[in-house]
Every structure is written in C-alpha cells, then in structure tokens.
Chain A
Amino acid sequence: MLKQTEGSHAVAEAVALCRPEVVCAYPISPQTHIVEGLGEMVKAGTLRNCEFINVESEFAAMSVAIGASAAGARTYTATASQGLLFMGEAVYNAAGLGLPIVMTDANRAIGAPINIWNDHSDSMSMRDSGWIQLFAETNQEALDLHILAFRLAEELSLPVMVCMDGFILTHAYEQVDVPTAAQVDAFLPPYEPRQVLDPRAPVSIGAMVGPEAFTEVRYLAHAKQLQALERIPALAQEFRGIFGRDSGGLVHAYRTADADTIVVAMGSVLGTIKDVVDELREAGVAIGALGICSFRPFPLAAIRDTLKGARRVVVIEKSLAVGLGGIVSTDVRMALSGLHLHGYTVIAGLGGRPILKTSLHALLERARTDQLEHVTFLDLNWDVVNRVLEREKTTRRSGSIAESILRDIGAVASNVG
C-alpha cells in the first residue's frame, strides 16, 4: 500500500512484516524512531510472538542479539554512531559466530567533536567486521533492503547491516509502498537456523581456535561474503518478481553506458547526483552515476564492468580515511586495477554538511577538465582551516581545535543558546 510516512516508520513496518522474534535496542539518534515504532507494535499486540527487550547499552543490545539469534530467534536491532562503536566487539563476534542478525545503522558521524548529523563514518568503522553492509538510496529501498536482509542473512548465516542516511532518510517523509504480509511471507520463509543453542540438546558455540585453524575460519568468512556476491543479485531479481520493483542488488548504474565521467557514491546523495547528471546530460555532457548498494561484499567485478569504459571516475563519499583520503574510493580503485583512467576522491557531507547541487556542478566542471585534486574536500572553508594552522604555528598552547573554530566562526560551543 502506498503511503506517505517517515523513513524510520517505514523501516519499522518492514521489520515487523519480517516477523522478528526478538527486538533489542538502545535508543540513539537518529535510529530511535525505528525501535520506538517496533516497541509500540509489540505493546499494541500488532507484532505478535516478538519480545522487545530494553537493554542498558549498545554493547548489551548486540550481546542480547547474539544470544537470541544463537537460540534460534529471528533477531533485529538498530543503532548509530557511537552506539555502533560501543557495541563494536560484539559486532565482530556476531559475524564470527555466523549469526544472521539484521541491524539498521542510521548513518551518523563519529566524535570527537560530538556531532549528531549524517555521514558514513560509523558503518565504515565496521566494514571489516564480517557483516554484510547494504546502503539504501531512498526510504523505499531502506524498507525493501530489510526484507532482503533477513532472507540473505538467514540463507548464508551471516549478519546484515542495512545502512540508511541518518535524518536525511530516517526523518524524511516520503512516499513508500508497504508490501503485504502475504508478499513478505512468500519471499521470506521461517528462520531455519544452521546452529541453535537448545537446553534439550546442549552444545557450545564460540570455541577458541588457535593458529592451526584460525586462518581457515577467517577464509570461510570471506568465502561466505563471496557467496553473497552471487546471492544478492539473485535475490534482487526474486524480489522484483514478488514485489514488482527494483531494490537491492550489488550496484545501480544510471546513464553510464556512454559516459566519459562516472560519479560513484552510496546512499541518499545519489538522488541529488542523478538530478545533476540529468542537468549535465541536457547540456550535452556524457556523464553518469554508479550507486554502490552492496559495500560488503564489495562487488569488484560489477564496478569494474560499469566503469571500464569511462575516462574518469569521481568517487563522492561521506567518509574519510584519515591520513589516506577515501575509503570507498580506495576500494573502487582496487576494482579499476590496471585500467587507465583518472580517479578522483571527493570527501563530502561530513557531519551533516549538505551536499548541494551547485557545489556538485562546480566540482564536476573541474573534474571534466581534469583540474581536480587527487583528494578534494567539498566546500571546505580554507579560511577557517588556515587560521587554525597559523595559530598552531605561532602559539604553543593553541587550545582545542573544535572550540577555536567555533569561536572563529562566531558560535561558541559552550554557550549555544
């Protein structure tokens, strides 16, 4: 049914349609509305056979999820930012134990300085944890990816993180098509665990593995992700058969067939990028966009296949590998190994800075004439940066950078309001 609703609410409805048996979560912006919505459904009795567990921290949230999933329950949680970091150890364990937990990460920056707004730093910090990571472009895709995530997770016995841009998607009201329970049931069979903790047939899970076999266990984690590379497109196709729309898959190519310049990105910024691509196409520019939906596993072959005909590739990412440049762009370059084309890294949208069409037009103009730096920080205020660098050069006790910058730009952190 088509409805106009908040992204978080749409995701809560999708998760409920997947019939989770345990939902455990600790509130943190911007994911809170999702688990609040699920909590309300459990309380109202509209989501049956589901236990909603209030936990005392994110570390507890993931630990409870591990226990519930190991006991054979379909398990869901959600987090963001510092919450994801706090549960970090358990995040790795969930993957290492092969437990098909589904978790929403409402993408948000990581401090310090504290910042509640959107970027992709949080999920990037867990990119090597062994979780599958899928990025949603719209609220419709966020809704759909949760249904796909449970199916994929349980088939492979691997946890899946659905990443959706905090605030930009979670708090946006837009139109979504909420499927029927019958459609979801047709796509997602009841959970049949590969391993289960059962007091009637006691086993242990979580053995210590020494050097004699640790590499093999890790290789199998890698091999499972490679299996996911095969399953993700197949499931997207099956999804289309039942739900009648394209969602998920490894990558989404947009007007790339004859493009000299291809912009690569993940998440909601692709909408703005597509509008810019259309405007440039109208002006006769051969440009396209490539959205990466599956960041882990990373679809090297699909990306190479789309980008190999281009003359230049501009990766616009909401994350920063401090001391290197880009994270997504480093992976994209691996996909382009041996190809002769210009590669540009653009760091954009950090800590919620809006990515504007005007900025993208100016950026892509410089890219098309190959005047772009290797690594560019979109809309970076050099005056602010240089003032801090100058101060540090001349003053030993120059103070905290964050507070100094706020003073420079006229809003002092300690007395906002």
Chain B
Amino acid sequence: MFQVRIHGRGGQGVVTGAEMLSVAAFLGGKHAQAVPSFGSERTGAPVVAFCRIDDREIRLREPVMQPDALLIQDPTLLHQVDVFQGLGRDGYILINTNRGFEALGLGEFVKDFHPERLCTVPATDLALKHVGRPVPNVPLLGGFAAISRVITLEAVVAAIKERFAGKVADGNIAAATAAYNTVVREMEEAAHA
C-alpha cells in the first residue's frame, strides 16, 4: 500500500487534490481511498487530506500515520504544523515553492533521504499562469506522477477531465503537465548531480 498525505490550507483544494489523486489511481487500475481530515473548515486554516493506493481492497480507515509521500501545498506550513510526522527516510516529499530544500531550511532534515524523491515545484505559479487562480493542488498531482510513478500523467489528465470541463480542465491539464515536466527535469538533474 502506498500512502499519501497532503498538507495545505483551506481554499487550496487539498481535499479535491486527494480525491482526484484517488480517481487517477482508480483509472490506473488500482484501489484507492481518499479521505479528508475534517477540522475547522476555514480559508487559510491548515487542512490535511489522505490518499491510499493499493492493488487490493483498502479496508484501513485510520488517518495516514506513516505516509510514503507528502504533498505540501503551502511551504509556510513547515513552521506551523509537524508535516513530516511519520515520514520515513524512503519517503517522497513534494513541496509547492519556488525555492529549494536548502533555502527552505530543510537541508539538514532531508540529508539521509533519497535525493531523487525530493522535489519542489512552483505549483501556485503554474496554476496562476494556466488556470488563472492560485490553486496548487492539480499541478502538484502532475508533479507527484513524475516523482513517484504511482500514477501516470495520463491518469491525472483523465481525472482532471472527470472533474472539470472546458477552459478550467484545459488550464489544469496544462498546469499538471508543466509541473510533471518540471519534476522530471529536476529528477534528472538530481540523478546526475
């Protein structure tokens, strides 16, 4: 089972992101379960959502305590919430930011992680450019497809088409694809570093 935890803030589409991730996994022939962690549902408040992906039926209903991957939609959460709780050194980390792990002050923390599993992607910028709104959730799914290979970009695109129509769908597809390509490039750079 592959477990993903998405951290963000109310209004950033955290729950929608987890749901679309589960749809993409389902379209890829997997079992998937997406669940929000409900707290105070207010714009700007820290929000968490979970997605589990497996080859067989998922029965477990507890929150994701030991994620295999973290998608962090808002880097300001790093100073507010223990987002890395339960993450092992084999884990994947994808952060929505223009900066790198060193610049975020995470260099020491991630020094024993697999470098090709650590990526940052400017998902908000990509969303603003392609969708016209600062919603980083969908581009991060594109980035997640690239970094983890648990889902494909094609499945993300199909999940976008299931959720959105017209211009919004097109914009999100463009943003997800751009994020995917960014992460692929970063991983290649990390591999050659």
Contacts and interface: CB of A to CB of B under 8 A. Distances in A.
Nearest to A3: B26
Contacts of B34: 172-174
Contacts of A355: 61-62
Interface in A159-188: 167-168, 171-175
A116 interface: yes
A174 B40 contact: no
Given A4-B32, A167-B38, A173 B23 contact: yes
A159 to B, nearest CB: 28
B62 A357 contact: yes
A271 B60 contact: yes
Nearest to A271: B59
Interface string A254-295: 000000000000001111101100000000000000000000
Interface string A90-106: 00000000000000000
A273 to B, nearest CB: 9
A356 interface: yes
B32 A354 contact: no
Contacts of B33: 172-174
Interface in B77-95: none
Contacts of A168: 35, 61
B23 A272 contact: no
A416 interface: yes
A175 B54 CA distance: 12
A210 interface: no
B38 A416 contact: no
A116 B37 CA distance: 12
B31 A175 contact: yes
A117 interface: yes
Interface centre among B19, B36, B62, B65 (most CB of A within 10 A): B62
A218 to B, nearest CB: 38
A173 B20 CA distance: 9
A275 B22 CA distance: 21
A173 B61 contact: no
Contacts of A167: 35-36, 38
Given A4-B22, A4-B23, A167-B38, A175 B60 contact: no
B13 interface: no
Contact of A269 (B19, B38, B58, B61): B61
Given A4-B22, A116-B38, A417-B42, A274 B32 contact: no
B45 interface: yes
Interface residues of B, number: 24
Contacts of B32: 4, 173-175
B63 interface: yes
Interface string B43-63: 001000000000000111111
B61 A417 contact: no
A417 B38 contact: no
B38 A272 contact: no
Interface of A is mostly: mixed
Interface centre among B32, B42, B61, B62 (most CB of A within 10 A): B61
A136 to B, nearest CB: 12
Contacts of B60: 271-272, 275, 357
A6 interface: yes
B63 A354 contact: yes
B35 A171 contact: yes
A232 to B, nearest CB: 23
A417 B35 contact: no
A358 B63 CA distance: 12
A172 B34 CA distance: 6
Contacts of B45: 417
Interface in B12-36: 18-19, 22-23, 25-27, 31-36
Interface centre among A6, A167, A173, A356 (most CB of B within 10 A): A173
Contacts of A354: 62-63
Contacts of B40: 416-417
Interface centre among A167, A174, A268 (most CB of B within 10 A): A174
A363 to B, nearest CB: 14
Interface of A: 3-4, 6, 116-117, 167-168, 171-175, 268-272, 274-275, 352, 354-358, 416-417
21 contacts: A4-B32, A6-B19, A116-B38, A173-B19, A174-B32, A174-B33, A174-B34, A174-B58, A175-B26, A175-B32, A268-B61, A270-B59, A271-B59, A271-B60, A272-B62, A352-B38, A354-B63, A355-B62, A357-B62, A416-B40, A417-B45
Interface of B: 18-19, 22-23, 25-27, 31-36, 38, 40, 42, 45, 58-63, 65
Given A174-B58, A417-B45, 6 more contacts: A4-B25, A4-B32, A173-B35, A174-B32, A174-B34, A272-B61
The 6 tightest CB contacts between A and B, nearest first, are A271-B59, A4-B26, A173-B34, A173-B22, A173-B19, A172-B35
